[in-house]
Structure 1
Amino acid sequence: MSDKFKILCLVLFFAILLAMIINLNTGFLSLHFQDFFSESSSSQIAEIRVNRVLVILLAGISIPTSGFLMQEYFQNPLAGPDILGITSVASLSVAFYIFFSHDIFLPEFLQNSFLSFAAIGGSLLLMLVFLGITRKFQDKSYLIIFGFLISAFAGAIVSLLQLYAENQSLKNYVLWSFGANNMVSRNQIYVLSILILAGLWVCFKAIKPLIGNSLGTSYAQSLGVNLNQLKILIVVASSLLSASVTAFLGPVLFIGIIVPHFCRLVYNPAKLWQQWILNMFLGMLIMLIFSIIAEKTQIPLNVISSVFGIPVILGMLLKQNKI
């Protein structure tokens, strides 16, 4: 492990700590240190802010990891859970759940579980279809077009559902789609943590064969890499990580594309273990910064991520075109 990598991680670690402190102190009401550790009139607000920081950290870990896996597997810097349609299909699955489950009484913990299972089930199905057609497309740019078409189709179905939805269901979906991180409860964080830990474990199993795959299919097979198993690992990890966050935070767009891009700019892109660690650190920092901006301006989190991400992706496209 090089000194440059250690310094990068140390700088990002302290930046994350600072951003967490600022985040905990950002809101309409000023809190004191004891509000976070003892019963007071502001304890509930303190708990909401702690939950906000925790869910943002989880999102910062999982979404960039999902994008990193997909970009390395498809060898395409524009591959990501939102561009390839995973986020859109997860959103469609959540929409079906919100609009059609309002008459079913379930305990809160089960509601959270079914919400996440709906998102993950939809994204897994899409990824299986997506990987099934990769053999038919020699030019990988067609994969981006396919993902765009899937996103457009999912958006059209969601719009149709919204047109005929009841007022309360429509309100719940709109609030969810805004990325309302202040509304995530501690029970939801527990469910989200379990899903993300499972996704990170699958990611850990996928990194070593992914290194072999990056050297070429023939070379990977000569090293004993099971390409079919690798494909399954990428599908499961990407879907778990991106869809679980989408289920609770709404569609947080473009983070899964721009964070891996920045990480490749600042450190050797061939060292995938270090790239994965950098993606998690930088993802947490960027998401914390976005959360602070969202609290200061009252602009939804997914709007901020889009405003930031679109110019970066446009710059990537222009840079590639020049090359």
Structure 2
Amino acid sequence: MSDKFRILCLVLFLAILLATIINLNTGFLSLKFQDFFTETSQSLIAEIRVNRILVMLLAGISIPTSGFLMQEYFQNPLAGPDILGITSVASLSVAFYIFFSYGISLPDFLQNTFLSLSSITGGLLLMFLLLSISNRFQDKSYLVIFGFLVSALAGAVVSLLQFYAENQSLKNYILWSFGANNMVSRNQIYILFVLVLIGLFACFKSIKPLIGNSLGVSYAQSLGVNLNQLKILIIVSSSLLSASVTAFMGPVLFIGIIIPHFCRLIYNPSKLWQQWILNMLLGMCVMLIFSIIAEKTQIPINVISSIFGIPVILVMLLRQNKV
């Protein structure tokens, strides 16, 4: 482990710590230290802020990891859960659940479970479809085009559902799609944590085979890499990580593309273990910064991530075109 990598990790860790402290002190009311640890009149607000930080940390770990896995597997720097349509299909699955479950009374735990299951199911189905057709495309950049088409179709179906939806279910979906991190409860965070943990375990198991896969299919097979098992690990990990965050926070766009891109710029892109760690640290830092901006401006998280991400992706496209 190089000194440069240690320094980068230390800087990012300190940035995460600073952003966490600023988040705890960002809001309409000023809180005191005891509000976070003792029962006071403002303890509920303190709990909301802690929940906000926890969910942003989990999102910062999950979405960049999902994008990192797909970019390394497809060998395409534009691959990501939103560009390939996974986020859109997960959002469509949630839309179906919200609109068609309106009027059905369920306990909060079951409501949250079905919400996450619908999102993850949609993400898994699309990932299976992407990986099944990936061998038919000689140029894997066609998968990006396919992802755009799937996103457009999912968006059209969601618009159709919104047109015929009841007022309250439409309102629920719009609030969800804004990516309101303040609305995520502690029980939802527990569910999200378990899903993220499973996704990270699958990611851990896939890093070593990915190193072999990056050297070419023939070389990977000569090293004993099970390519089918690798494909399943990528499906499970990237879908769980991106779709679980989408279920509770709405579609947080473009972070899964730009964070891996920045990590490759600041450190050796061939060292995948270190790249994964940097993706998680930088992802947490960026999401906490977005949370501060959202609280200060009252702009939804997904709008902030789009404003930040779209120019970066355009620059990436222009740089690739020059090459």
Instruction: Give the TM-score taking structure 2 as reference length.
Output: 1.00
> 1:247: how far off?
0.2
| 1: CA distance, partners of 2:298 / 2:104 | 33
| 2: CA distance, partners of 1:167 / 1:148 | 29
| 2: CA distance, partners of 1:269 / 1:84 | 22
| 1: CA distance, partners of 2:311 / 2:19 | 24
What are structure 1's unaligned runs of at least 5 residues? Answer: none
Greater mean deviation of Cα atoms: 16-25 or 99-108: 99-108
Three-state SS of the structure 1 residue aligned to 2:135 is: helix
Matches within 5 A, 1:157-176: 157-176=157-176
Q: Which residue of 2 aligns with 1:258?
A: 258
Instruction: Give the TM-score taking structure 1 as reference length.
Output: 1.00
Amino acid at match of 2:285: L
Q: Which residue of 2 aligns with 1:199?
A: 199
Q: Which residue of 2 aligns with 1:79?
A: 79
Three-state SS of the structure 1 residue aligned to 2:201 is: helix
> 1:104: how far off?
1.9
| 1: CA distance, partners of 2:134 / 2:55 | 34
Matched, 1:115 2:115: yes
Q: Which residue of 1 aligns with 2:143?
A: 143
Q: Which residue of 2 aligns with 1:177?
A: 177
Q: Which residue of 2 aligns with 1:65?
A: 65
Runs ≥4 in structure 1, deviation > 6 angstroms?
A: none
Q: Which residue of 2 aligns with 1:312?
A: 312
| 2: CA distance, partners of 1:86 / 1:248 | 15
> 1:275: how far off?
0.2
**Percent identity, aligned pairs only?**
83
Render the CA deviation track for 1:123-148: whole Å, top value 9, x for unaligned. Answer: 10011111111111111121110000
| 1: CA distance, partners of 2:163 / 2:102 | 16
Matches within 5 A, 1:202-241: 202-241=202-241
| 2: CA distance, partners of 1:5 / 1:135 | 36
Q: Which residue of 1 aligns with 2:290?
A: 290
Q: Which residue of 2 aligns with 1:10?
A: 10
Three-state SS of the structure 2 residue aligned to 1:136 is: coil
| 2: CA distance, partners of 1:279 / 1:145 | 25
Q: Which residue of 2 aligns with 1:95?
A: 95
Amino acid at match of 2:57: L
Amino acid at match of 1:169: S
- Aligned CA-pair RMSD: 0.5
Matches within 5 A, 1:242-257: 242-257=242-257
| 2: CA distance, partners of 1:134 / 1:202 | 21
> 1:103: how far off?
2.2
> 1:184: how far off?
0.3
Amino acid at match of 1:231: K
| 2: CA distance, partners of 1:239 / 1:101 | 23
**Number of residue pairs aligned between Structure 1 and Structure 2:** 323
| 2: CA distance, partners of 1:208 / 1:302 | 33
| 2: CA distance, partners of 1:211 / 1:68 | 13
| 2: CA distance, partners of 1:258 / 1:191 | 27
Q: Which residue of 1 aligns with 2:125?
A: 125
